[in-house]
Amino acid sequence: MFMYKIGVVGDKDSILGFKALGISVFPTTDAREASRTIHKLAKESYAVIFLTEQLAKDLDETLEAFKDTVTPAIILIPNNQGTLGLGMKGVRDSVEKAIGADILFGKEGR
């Protein structure tokens, strides 16, 4: 069976550890470069790309572009300064998109 790869994009300090596990690491702190990297990885056989939230906050368009495709899955992870809550926001967004109201998280209006 054809093997897909895993990639991690983020700032070097956070993601370097993944390299020791044999996951490809693409250190960058620049949003545009990250966007380029993601597009490049998508063309190659990367099935999962982990992206730090720190970078993801400026990369809405890039994330949107890969929402409808099965691979690659771009998954947001916190970096070493903790989470920005963007990953959770992504989950909440898909709930709102599907159901029309946020039933999992918010207790608004109740």
Q: Does 57 bind another protein (CB under 8 A)?
A: no
Distance of alpha carbon 14 from alpha carbon 17, whole angstroms: 7
Distance of alpha carbon 1 from alpha carbon 65, whole angstroms: 27
CB 16 within 8 A of CB 59: no
Identify which range of 2-10, 36-44, 54-62 contacts another protein by CB under 8 A: 2-10
Binding residues for another protein, rule: CB under 8 A, are 1, 3-6, 13-14, 16-23, 47-48, 50, 67-68, 70-71, 73, 75, 77-80, 82-83, 87-88, 90-91, 94-95, 97-99, 103-105
